[in-house]
Homo-oligomer: A and B are copies of this chain.
């Protein structure tokens, strides 16, 4: 099991990690601000069960995934210790209310990511406290919200997150995001978009922070039905499978000399 601290305590992730013989479903929590869907009728009509609800339906139909949605106005933003501790992969959608997320909740989620929980950040979540905390940068970018054509090109064929996706796909209407996108150099860039206005954007990227795998996936402005698109749904599903935590172990802290002589083993590894 993964060990987390100098005194080698057992991780709360452990119960779901050794899944090779009898795989348990991946437990996904979709965090959504969830206010636009209540306050703005034109958005409620696009996402009557909320952005979190739309994504949860797609994931629950995919097989091997148990997804639930929580929102900003739930108790502790829906992210109690119990919820966070029983989440393998978190999905994050926020836009206008990043500042309303309590710093203690951000701290809780951050610790859980470093201990191995996957994190899939969507669209305007680029400016969320948790994403900026994980990246260490401003996460700023260019944008234009006029509903224009986005063409997404696969730049890492064979990467698990683009499995089943053609070498490109087109979204008729989306918000534009443009470079420079101020994030650390990613470990992989699996999608790059162009927009009608001539801008480009690294729309799919991955990082590792501690033992946690992190994905940023660009599309999903609240006024467009993007999360019903089958390609978008497939990428989110693939991202969840890719980011779910594997068994791992780390040890930190002070070590005595001479350990290697005591520990040396025979070549059968027994």
Contacts and interface: CB of A to CB of B under 8 A. Distances in A.
Interface of A: 2, 6, 114, 116, 133-138, 140-144, 146, 148-149, 151, 153-160, 162-167, 169-173, 176, 178-182, 184-185, 187-189, 192-200, 202, 207-213, 224-226, 228-233, 245-260, 263-270
Contacts of A170: 198, 260, 263-265
B260 A208 contact: no
B269 A169 contact: yes
B255 A209 contact: no
Contacts of A133: 136
How many monomers of this chain does the complex have?
4
Nearest to A6: B140
A136 B268 CA distance: 36
Nearest to A3: B167
28 contacts: A114-B137, A135-B136, A137-B210, A143-B254, A151-B198, A151-B199, A153-B199, A154-B179, A154-B249, A155-B179, A155-B180, A157-B211, A159-B248, A162-B248, A163-B247, A171-B267, A178-B255, A180-B250, A184-B207, A185-B207, A194-B194, A197-B255, A197-B260, A198-B260, A229-B269, A230-B268, A230-B270, A231-B269
